[in-house]
Chains A and B, each alone.
Chain A
Amino acid sequence: MSIPLLSTLIFFPVLGGLSLLVVPRQQTATIRLMALLISLIELVLCLPVVLLFDKTTYLMQFREHLPWIKALNINYSLGIDGISILFLLLTGLIIVLSILVSWESITTKVQEFFVALLLLEGMMMGVFCATDFFLFYIFWEAMLIPMFLIIGVWGGPNRIYATVKFFLYTLVGSLLMLVGIILLYFKGGQTFDIIKLAGQAYPLKLQLLLFWAFFAAFAVKVPMWPVHTWLPDAHTEAPAAGSVILAGVLIKMGAYGFLRFSLPILPDATQQMLLPMLILSVIAIVYGAIICLAQTDLKRLIAYSSVSHMGFVTLGLFALNQHGLEGGILQMINHGIVTGALFLAIGMVYERTHTREIAAYGGLASIMPIFSGFFLLFTLAAVGLPGTNGFIGEFLILLGGFERLPWTAVVAASGLILGAWYMLWLYQRIFFNGVKEGMRDLVELNLREILTLVPMALLIIWIGLYPNALLSFLHVSVSHLLDQVNGIGLAGMALPIQP
C-alpha cells in the first residue's frame, strides 16, 4: 500500500480543522467556505477506498500498521472490511451536509464550530477504521470532546443539561468498556489487535462478563432501552448539525461496536444473551414508537423515533442470521440518511420559525411546497414505504427476526404500524390543517438548502430501488461474521493477515 488512504481519511479533516484556526476569526465567510471545501475533499477521498475495495474477501483491507506504544503492545493499526466501509461514506456525506445546514444558523463562534465539526469527523473516521482496540477506544472517547462542545455551546435553551447528560452517560459506559478491554488484554494474550483477539476461545463466564462490560458502552451509544434517555435531550437541544451527526453517525457507533467487538470476540456470550438482547430491542421499538405519539416537540419526536428505529437495528443484529445482520447494517445506513435528512429539514424550518412546538405549525404545504415535498419523501422513507430505502432494511430485519424467533418479528411489525401513525400524523399537523398564525410569511427553501436535501432524497430512492449497491459490500463480511459467531470461523480467523 503506497498511499495510506485510511490515515488520510482520519487526519485530513483534523489538519484541515486546525488550519481553520489560522484564518482571522472575523472572516466567517472564508471559514465556512474552507470548511465546506475540506469536507468535500474528504468525501472525494472516500471514493478511491470504495472503488478499490475488494468485495470478495472478508479480510481487512487498506491495512496500515505502525507500532505506537511498544511497552503495552499498542499499535496504530487500521483496516476496513465490508461492514465498516459504508460508514466511512456515510460520515463523509453527513459532515458535508451538516456544514451546509450550519451555513446561516451558526452565527456565534463560527470558527470554533467548524473546527469542532472537522475534528469530530476525523475521530469518527478513526472509530470505523481502527483495528486495534486501544486505538478504537482513543477515537471513541476523543469524539466526546467536540460533540460535548457542539451541543453545549451552540445548542438550544436547555443545552447545558443535555450535553452534560450526554457526556456522563457515554463516559460511564465507555469506562466500563475500558475495564473490559484491559481484562480482555490479559486474557487474550496481551494484545489489543482485534483480529487476534477474535481468533481465540474464551471461557463462557469471562465472555459474559466482557459482554456486559461492552454492552455498557455500546448500548448507551445505540441507545438501547432503558439507557436511551440521554438521546431525546441531546437531539432536542443540539444545533441542527449536531442532531444530524448524532442521528447520522454517532448512534450508529454503538451498533457498529456490537458488530466489530461483541459478536466476533464473544460468540458464546452473544448466543447466550440473544434473548435478552432481542427483548430489549423489541421493547425499544414499541416503547419508542408509543412515546412518539405523545410528543409535542418536533425534534423530540424524531429523537424518540430514533430509539424505535435503532431497536430495529439491534433486532436485526441479534437475529444473528444473514438477513437480519445485513438488514441491520443497511438500516443503520438508512436511518442515518433518513433521520439525518429529517433533522436537516427541521433545522431549516426552525431557522425560519424558531419554534419546535408541533402545535405552532400548520398548513406549510401551501406556503413551502418544495419543502413539503422533500419532507413527505423523508416521512415515507421513515415509515418504510416500499420504493424507499427504509422498506428494504426493515423488511430484511423482520425476515431475519422471523427466522430467529417469530414473535419478535410480529411485535416489531406493530412498531411499523405505530411508526406510520406518528409520522403521518406529524406530517398532517405540520403541513395540512389550515395555515397557522405566523406561518404565512415563511420563505421557501433557497438553493443551498435544496442542494443540501437533494443528495439525501436521491439516496433514499436509489437504495430503495437498488439496495444491492450497498448490500453487495456486506455479503462476504457478514457471512464471515456469522461463521465467527457460530464458532465455525475460528480456524479461518487464525490465518495470517495479508501484508
Chain B
Amino acid sequence: MISTVTVNWADVGPILPELLLISIGVLLIGLDLFSPRQRQILPWLTVVGCLTALAMIMGSRPSISFGGMFLTDGFSVFFKSICLVGVILTTLMSEHFRRIIAMPQGEYYSLLVFSAVGMLIMASAGDLMVLYLGLELMALPVYALVGLHKKENRTSEAAIKYFLMGGFASALLLFGMSLVYGLTGTTDIGRIGELINSLHLTNNPALLAALSLLLAGFCFKVAVAPFHLWTPDVYEGAPTVVTAFMSVGPKVAGFAIFSRVLFFGLPQLHDHWGPVLAVLALLTMAVGNITALCQQSLKRMLAYSAIAHAGYALLGLLAGTTEGISATMTYLFIYMFMNMGAFAILMLLATPGQPHESIEDCKGLAARSPIAAALMLVFLFSLTGIPPTAGFIGKFYLLKAAFAAGYTMTVVGAVLFSAISAYFYLRVVRYMYMTDPQQNSTLQYSPGMIVALGLCLIGVVGLGLFPGSLLDWAARALL
C-alpha cells in the first residue's frame, strides 16, 4: 500500500495540527537559542500552540487520509483532545516547576511538543506502521524528558530504566505486529479484522501468539501489571512535572492505540483478550492499590495509584463494547484532571533543593495553606471515587459498562479494590487536616500553576456535577 501513495495535497489538511505543533517545536528551540532573554514566553507559546492545535482538531471533519493510514474520526479527536489538554496542563505546571528544578527551557518545551505530536499520531493511526511511528515519536522525547535534570542520580537511573523497558516493550509490540502482518499480509488495522474472518484465523495459534505479544507491549506502555515494574521507579525518579505528564499523556495515548488495535482491529478475538484483560485489570488494581498502602513517599504513592487507575480504565476496554470504550475514554478524560491536580499540589510543596515528596510533608497543610489542602482534598476524593466528584462518575460508567458485558466478578473486585484505595488517599487527607504542621512556610503560587489548578478543579467538580455532555461526546465519538 505504501507504494501507491503519492503526494496528495488533500491529505495534508487533516495533519495540519501535527504540522503546526512540529513547527512550534522547532520554533521553541530556535527562540531558546537565539533569544535567550525571552525564555519566559516559551511556556505561553507552547500553550498557545497547543490551544490552536486543539481548536483545529475540534473543528476537523471526519476523514481518512494517506490511504487509510491516518484517520480523523471521533475516536481520534477525543483522544487527541485529552492529550493536548494534558500537555497544556503540564506546560502550565512547568512554568511553576522551573523555579524548583532548573531544566534547559527550550529543550524541555520542544521535547514536550514533539511528544505531543507523537501522541496525536498514535490517536489517529489507522495502520500498524503509523501507530509504531507515533509511539516512538511520543516515547523518545519522554525518555529525554525524564533524564533532563542531569544533576540528580535517580533521574538518570529512571531515564535509563524507562528507556530500556520502553525499548523492550516496543520490540514486543513490533514482534506482534510482524506476526500479524505475516498472517494477514496487511498492516491496515481496519483490514486486519476482515482478513482474520475471511482467512478463518480466529483460533490460529500464531495469531494468538501475536495477540499475546501485542497485549504485553501495550500493557508495558500503559503500566498494567505484571508489566508495571518500571513505573514506580521511573515515576519517582523523574522530575515531578514530568511524572505528572507521564502518568497522563503517554498513558492516554497508549490506551488510544490499545483500544484502536483491540476494539477496531481484533474484535473477533474478544473472547481471547477480554478474559485476559479482566485478570490483568484485577491484578493491576490489586498491585497498585495494595502496594500504595505502605508507601511513605507521596510521589511513589501516586505512582502506584496511577497503576491502579490503569486497571480501572481497562474495565471499559475489556468489555469490548462501544459503551465500554466510551467509558474508558470518559474515565481517562476525568483521570487527567484529578491526577494532574494531585501532582500539582505535590509540586507546590516542593522548594528549591528540597523535593518534599513524603506524605509527612503534607502534615498540617490545611493550616499552612487552606486552599491547597482543600484542592488536594477534592482531587483525592475524586481519585477514590466519592461523589459528587467526577472520579465517581467515571468509575460508575466503567463499572456499568463492564457489568453490561457480563464481567460481574471483575466489577465486584474493582469495587473492593477501590474501597482499599480509600485508605491511602485518606491518609494524605488525615495528614493535611488532622495533624499539626511541621513547618510554617506558605506555598508559592505562580500564574501558570493557578490556571492549571483552576482547570483541574473545574474538571473534577464540573464534570462531577454535569457529566452529561462529556458522556454524550464520548458516546458520539464512536458512532
Contacts and interface: CB of A to CB of B under 8 A. Distances in A.
Interface in A169-220: 171-172, 175-176, 178-179, 182-183, 185-186
B403 A186 contact: yes
Contacts of A112: 366, 370
Contact of B433 (A153, A172, A175): A153
B471 A171 contact: no
Interface in B415-439: 415-416, 418-419, 422-423, 426, 429-430, 433-434
B468 A69 contact: yes
A182 B403 contact: yes
Contacts of A144: 386
Contacts of B422: 167-168, 171
A52 interface: no
Interface stretch (A135-143, A246-254, A342-350): A135-143
A112 B371 CA distance: 12
B399 interface: yes
A72 B430 contact: no
Interface in A128-168: 137-138, 141-142, 144-145, 148-149, 152-153, 159-160, 164, 167-168
B415 A178 contact: yes
Contacts of A179: 399, 403, 411-412, 415
B441 to A, nearest CB: 19
A203 to B, nearest CB: 16
A71 B400 contact: no
Contacts of B423: 164, 168
A68 interface: yes
Contacts of A159: 434
B67 interface: no
Nearest to B395: A178
A448 interface: no
A71 B471 contact: yes
A440 interface: no
B67 to A, nearest CB: 35
B331 interface: no
Interface residues of B, number: 34
Contacts of A164: 423, 426, 430
B404 interface: yes
Contacts of A175: 415-416, 418-419
A149 B387 contact: no
Given A141-B386, A141-B392, A142-B388, A182 B400 contact: yes
A185 B400 contact: yes
A70 interface: yes
B396 interface: yes
Contacts of B408: 183
Given A171-B422, A183-B403, A152 B415 contact: no
B108 interface: no
B475 A172 contact: no
A138 B472 CA distance: 20
A149 B467 contact: no
Contacts of B472: 70-71
Interface in B354-402: 366, 370, 377, 381, 386-388, 392-393, 396-397, 399-400
Given A149-B433, A164-B426, A182-B403, A69 B471 contact: yes
Contacts of B467: 69
B89 to A, nearest CB: 25
Contacts of B430: 152, 160, 164
A160 B434 contact: yes
Interface string B431-453: 00110000000000000000000
Contacts of A178: 396, 399, 415
Contacts of A145: 377, 381, 386
B177 to A, nearest CB: 35
B413 to A, nearest CB: 10
A352 interface: no
Interface size class of A (residues with CB under 8 A): 20 to 34
Contacts, number: 80
Nearest to A176: B415
A109 interface: yes
Nearest to B415: A175
Given A69-B467, A164-B423, A142 B433 contact: no
A164 B399 CA distance: 25
A382 to B, nearest CB: 32
A322 B422 CA distance: 41
B416 A142 contact: no
Contacts of B419: 168, 171-172, 175
Nearest to A69: B468
Contact of A152 (B411, B433, B471): B433
B74 to A, nearest CB: 15
A400 B419 CA distance: 38
A189 to B, nearest CB: 14
B475 A71 contact: yes
A279 B419 CA distance: 29
B415 A153 contact: no
Contacts of A70: 468, 472
Contact of A138 (B388, B433, B468): B388
Contacts of A153: 433-434
A5 B434 CA distance: 37
A170 B98 CA distance: 43
Contacts of B418: 175
A186 B366 CA distance: 43
A186 B402 CA distance: 12
Contacts of B388: 138, 142
A174 to B, nearest CB: 9
Nearest to B399: A182
A172 B416 contact: yes
Contacts of B396: 178, 182
A72 B397 contact: yes
B389 to A, nearest CB: 9
B313 to A, nearest CB: 18
A71 B387 CA distance: 18
A148 B387 contact: no
B331 to A, nearest CB: 14
Contacts of A182: 396, 399-400, 403, 411
B254 to A, nearest CB: 26
A173 B422 CA distance: 13
A178 B386 CA distance: 12
A183 B411 CA distance: 11
B386 to A, nearest CB: 5
A148 B386 CA distance: 12
A109 B399 contact: no
Nearest to B384: A171
6 contacts: A69-B393, A71-B472, A72-B471, A153-B434, A171-B386, A175-B415
Given A152-B433, A152-B434, 20 more contacts: A68-B468, A69-B467, A70-B468, A112-B366, A138-B388, A141-B386, A141-B392, A142-B386, A145-B377, A168-B419, A168-B423, A171-B386, A171-B422, A175-B415, A175-B416, A175-B419, A176-B412, A182-B400, A182-B403, A183-B403
Q: Which 8 A-B pairs have the closest CB atoms?
A: A71-B471, A138-B387, A175-B415, A172-B419, A141-B387, A152-B434, A182-B403, A69-B468
Interface of A: 68-72, 109, 112, 137-138, 141-142, 144-145, 148-149, 152-153, 159-160, 164, 167-168, 171-172, 175-176, 178-179, 182-183, 185-186
Interface of B: 366, 370, 377, 381, 386-388, 392-393, 396-397, 399-400, 403-404, 408, 411-412, 415-416, 418-419, 422-423, 426, 429-430, 433-434, 467-468, 471-472, 475
